[in-house]
Structure 1
Amino acid sequence: MLVQSQCTGNDGSITICKKDNDPSNQAFNLFVHLNGSPQSGGTWTSVNPVIKNALSSDTGILNLWSINQFGTYEFTYSHPNCIETASVTVSLGGYPGEDNIAGGANACSDNSAVDLFIFLDNKLTSLTADINGTWGARDSSTAMFLNENFFNASAAGPGTYTLTYTVDTVDTCAERSADVILEVHRTPNPGLPTNIIICTTEDFSSYREVDLLDYLSGEDSNGIWEDVNQVGQITSLDDSIINIEKIFNSFGSGEYVFEYTVFPTHGNCAEGKSSVVVQIPDISANFDVKNQCLNESLNFEIQHQRPGSIFITYNLEYEILDSDNSVVFSNIINNIEMADSKGFTINHEVSLPNNTLAPGNYTIRTKEITNIIGISCDTLTATEDVFTIFHPNIEIPDTCYMSNIIEAKITNLTNNNGILSNDTLLVNYTITDMTTSQESVVSNQSINFNNGEGILDLDMSSFSKTSNNYKIEFTAAPENGTGCINQNFIVRRVPDDILLNINIDNSCDASDIRISIDAPPLSNGNYRISYSIRNLTTNQIVVDYADDITGGLPEFNLNLGHLEDGSYEIILQSTQNDVTPCREKTEFETRKNFSIGGNPEKPVLDVNQSFCLPDYTPDLPTIADLVVTQGTNLEWYESEISDVPLDIEKKLEDGVTYYVSSKNTDNNCRSSERSKVTVSLIDPQEVTSGNTRPIFCDKDIPTIADLEVISVNPENIVWYDSIQGGNELADTTVLVNETSYFAVENINGCENT
């Protein structure tokens, strides 16, 4: 393609004055104002943002009525077929708008910033006055209320003011101006209201005829009152008198609004309204004092209750009385506020030095409230409260304690009425080792108090006996007084003694003896450990040893291989020379006897022994009747492993096996084995006959065997010729007429006599 030179044409310019006179200026063609021979199809731009919505970049059509600022504007034309550009400069004269001098410009005297541009109007919606002109006044008395395009009608006051808007010269276009005659109308003044605030405890008889106008200041007199809450107090257009006592009696506490309206003299001004609010709030104050400790600051609050819209301050004089109703303290607090700057109800906190009051029960009450601001309430008072100042003591004697349980004594504990306590309390406290910071926390320990005194057992077992300095602190709130106990104390406990132990594997036939020692470490001094073995027969010391230690858990075994059979005594001793506080004992000893080869032989006896019960009638045989052929100092048992000896008077039982051991009285050792015996008890039964006077034929030669006998064991029957003693008869013995024969049961020689 052949690129032509200056396809955008040459620069052009034009001056347009009074654009408002020609509606065609809404479609002003920039292209026709280029010189030379520009080609169409290019693009129009401008760097001035004022024309953003007025220019079509494709066609070059410019809406001059949409440009609301006079001045000089440059528009650049470019084309894709050439590098060069051309421009059209437009000098646009100003448009001030139309005069408004026939009563169309009105404002109210409460408007401090009347925008004058709203009065420069015409009949066209597409054309407005330029905004970069200058406002001015015909006289200085008017100019003083002008700030750019804003007029301070509030400062100027009601009246008529002439103001001029001027657009400056542009090129050959002369300046132009438009006048606005502004009428400022008086705004209705409903006055500044003051609310009527009366507390519910007041005497309302003085509020039966209240003129609401007395609670407005600076108001127009032509207004009317409205009873917003419809409590029946405004009955006519001229009525301003209300009966607050009747309102309270009928409707109770609350807020009741009465609105005063003043109507405007011109429609451009709004009605003026002021509201006087009759507030009858529930206002109260009370002292709140918690039970406290003597050594702490005396803190209390003055608590308030009020509606959120009421702001009240007052001066309070209060007094504190003891249990005898004597005033012991008084003070004045000025400018107490019931609410903060954000409207939140606040409580007033008071802190007095500790020891302001002695221990006891007290009442705090209002003496006088003065200088109440924000409410009519001569009856305002702060409700009294009662509280107790506690000062209990805890006594922990600085002495030597044998036990880990330390007895502490709590004294002077009073109840919430200031009387010495006779209650049972559950207490919580913490004991702290001041050296190591170790703590022991105790919860719900019960203490019985009598006349203010109670015993508290402190368990110190979790602390080292070498620690002495502690602190006890009760963690309960001071409501029951124990929470006031916080005290350091000293506990000295008797130190642990050395423990000496001798363990003999078999005291009757010892082969190993083990010595163990538990010696608490000594920070000063040492232990002298010694042991010896004495032969009890010869009284000779056969082993002797000693050594020094400072503590620990030494253990060692003794060699008994060189000792002969016999009875011995081992003696283990310790002495120490430390100066540990509360040390009461420095010498310790333990002894044990033992033997080597000291067990006697087990007893010798028949392992089966029988007893004929008729021989023991009317009793039964006992353990003492058992026969031992060899063995002394016998002990009988029911089994081989039983360690409970049987009473020798215990009656024997048939078929039962008994066990017996021998005992060496010199060393109290028993035979290493037990002998046993099984007992049989023989009890022959009585023999009867169905025919005690039998008749036989002599020629038959009857014998003993022909006699009738009844027995469960007929094979064990033996016949005699006498009821006692007599001769035993053979079964072949021939019977003799009129002779008596006697039969018995014989079991292994045991007969029922």
Structure 2
Amino acid sequence: MMIKLLCFIKNNFIKFSILFLFLLSSNSYSQCAGSGNTITICDIQNPVNSNINLFSLLGGSPTAGGVWIDNSKPLEESIFNGILDVQKIKNSGVYTYTYVQDPSVCTNNTATITVNIGPYSGVPSPNVSTCDDVESFNLFSAFDGTKIAPQQNGTWKDSNGVVLLGNTINPKTLGEGNYSYTYTVPALATCPAQSATVFITVFRKPVSGVASNLILCSTDNLALYKNLNLHDRLSNEDAGGRWADVSGTNQITSTNDNKIDVENIYNTRGAGIYSFVYTVLSSNPICNNTQSTVLIVIEEPLNFTGSTLVVNSDICENEIATATYTATLRKGPQAIPDGNYDVSYRISNGTTTNNITVNGNFVNGTFTFNVNSIYLQAVGNYTFTITNIINKASRGACSNILGTISDVLTISPLPKINTATIKIDPICKGLAAQVEISGNTNLSNGTYRINYNLSGDNTATNQQLDITVTNGVALFSIPANLIPNVGTNTTFSITNITNLTTGCTNTSTLSKVFTVKALPNVAAVTVNANNICLAQTATVQLSGLGSLTNITVDYSLTGTNTLSNQTVTLTVNAGNASFTIPASALVNAGNTTVILNSILDNSNGCSAVALNKTKSFLVNSIPTNPATNSFSFCKNDLKTIANLTPSGSQYQWFDSVSSTTALSASTILVTGNYYVKEVNSTTGCESGRTVIAVTINESDAPILATDGQNFCGLDQPKVQDLSNRTTVDDALVWFDALQNGNQLAANVLLKDGMTYYGYNFTSSTNCYSNALEVTISLSNCDVTPDFFTPDGFSPNGDMVNDTFRIPKIEFIYPDFALEIFDRYGNVLFKGNKNKLEWDGKNSDYKIGIDGIAPNGVYFYVLHLNKGNKKPVQGKLYLNR
């Protein structure tokens, strides 16, 4: 049956897993598998827990021969023999094991044993130690390996209760000392948590220090190191170690010796590498001894003075694609040892620099290397300069002596002028033609030879001429004897050009057509000029220019103003033209003569001398600038231009320095600059403009604070209280009328409904601002206290209690209404804030004899009209 079940499980794994889950969910139990059970194991270390027969824990009447399944493992690994070793389970927890019978034997064929495996924290080892050069120490290694290993699902804490991340510590970070760590596995079921504390001793490793090698050149001042303390070449080392001379220099003579004579080492043994070892013994059996080695390196500099560099070879531009280059570096008179070297060199053409290092061997004082043509792809002078030479066997203690080692390789351009600009100005008959070649060429400074032909109106063949190019421009002449004929069609053609320095030659198709012209006729020309004022330009009119259309005039001035050989280009219209002489040339008053020297016809470039062509004119002086002062007015005075001085018909005023429109005398002044000039009525000459500052003083009008007109009459507000409610910082004056009003003192009481006019007065300018108009209200009382209502009055004319009035009612209840009735209900009086007193007459209503109310009791109703208060009723007694 067991074999059958195992085969069934093996061959039908997926089906079995589904069936197994179904069986586990069954609530029916069969005697063939027994019944489940639960046990809790807290004493993991008990030997009996290493061999628990799960079958013996089944209830009911289980039948042997079934299969045990460990539910904590994958199905394919879960079948085992039913003997449980709790001590091999790595974590505490709840584990279930299911006993399964062949489903063909019984219907309910499974039973599960639940095992609660409690915590076990292990047994620490005594005397656990490590060295402080260890960077990772596993705390589980601090447990006694002969005992049961601790479970793995616990937590480590240090002696401060800080939980560790993982189970390792870093002794190197902790440093020398004693440390304790507690490992706790949490409680489970009825089993309490277990803890175990391990004690770790971290021993200090001996420190031999960090060595700093001494690298010297023989040219250094070695006498500075005659008594070198080797400890100075170490840092942070332990004391008490020993130095050993492993190079055999005999500088260390005892176990306590730590000083050497570097100069003596070099003098007796020469350049080389010398080793000295410092050893510190460990004071404990845990850490190893340590050693540090100090190297004394002495090198000799190499002297390349007088060395030469040859880079082969100069070429022309058309050879770039196929050129190869080799450089040879040869030593000077000093010996250079054979060996492997890094040679650094620089290639520079003035705009681009490439630094290259090549490696190779010096053999018999010669170092040969190839130059990559990638660096030499354009025309130019390439300077090769050796920048460093390093023997690969060297430590770089010495700076080798180079001097200047360089060579220049030139890639010369073919002279290219086909896209150049060739300029030949039209010439007059009998003159040499000036030729200029410029623009798009590659011609460097130097001498070139050209071959050229002339054709058209003038002919010549196979002419040769050496030309000089400076800054890309070549200037030369075609001899006059080769161009004797007038015309517009002489062609100059270059067929070949050669650089006489590089020998590079190129063909050319560059050509230019030029003109040979005749001279202009200026015999009928006349000159005219009008009188001017100083600082003005003078206009010169020319006439009699005939058919000329565009000319350049050369003229001079004599007389009170002198000027030599000035030129100006003019357009001629119907034989007339004009030009201006700048004011800067006419700085002196008096008679000046303009002289016409020559006229150049710009249409053909020929010039003719103009004889006896002159004209005199007068340069008049200008008035001096007017003298005046600045002015200050009040805005309200409405001052005008007429109020400024100087005044008169010869003076004109402007509101800007460049304005051409004079201001009228009625123009209202504003703050700013004004400009005045004088005009001479005879010559029309004008002075310069004098600037004055006009200041229109204006005081800011007072601004009343929000609701500043509202007061409470109970406070008996005064004019000063009104001032306090404005923005004015200067003197503020008040009047009782806008025009011709009376100025009010600060202590005058304000009147309800009256309008006041306030002005900001500035004493420094004696100017008033615009008026602030304020109408006062005295009914703005924030409180409504009780008021007194008289119960009688005696209108007998004795000036005592002659009227009935409710004191202060108009301030407390400004909208009040008062009605007084007689005993028959007739209204005798209606009062409000504008009608405060009843004099005992009823003339408004014509009741009683002559409108006089008789003695007696009267009734009143007072409507407060504020805050929803109810009317007040009462009675009063009138007694004459």
Shorter-chain TM-score range: 0.3 to 0.5
Q: Which has the higher contact order (CA 8 A, sep 6+)?
A: 1
With structure 2 as the length reference, what TM-score do the two structures score?
0.35
